[in-house]
Amino acid sequence: MTERQKRFVDELLLLKMRNATQAAINAGYSKKTAYSIASENLKKPEIQDYLAKRKKELEEELRQALFFDALEAREVMEEILKKPEAMDKDKLTAARDFLDRAGFGPVQRQEVTLSESKWFKDG
């Protein structure tokens, strides 16, 4: 796989997979051939493999970042809960959010309405 093909994949990911032609242009391919090159590149197994690998790497980076953000958010909620001068409504909101994130949130209720159909008519 060439460096330009790798740049194509990285550009495609930067564009959130929305415009392969623009990714090809950004990677250094000619504007005249960008559409066909992008189409060809996306059919190549080695590029598909690299794309899948890069997606997994980005997913892991995001997971790591969110993990530390979640720890920080938990610390903030704990501070609010422990502050004697915090208002009760703020403590309740923090406690509710804390429990919800821990999987102890309220059961979500959903209303279901059935409409009359030929299968349920009498006669």
Is the CB of residue 29 less than 8 Å from the CB of residue 53? no
Q: How do residues 3-42 score in pLDDT, each as one tens digit?
A: 999 999 999 999 999 999 999 999 999 999 999 999 999 9
CA distance 120 to 107: 31
Tokens encoding 31: 């504007």
- Classified as helix, coil or strand, 113 is coil
Domain 1-43, what architecture?
Orthogonal Bundle (1.10)
Q: Residue ranges per domain, the chain?
A: 1-43, 61-104
Q: How do residues 33-82 score in pLDDT, each as one tens digit?
A: 999 999 999 999 999 999 999 999 999 998 888 888 778 877 887 887 78
Rounded to 5 degrees, what are φ and ψ at 32? -65, -35
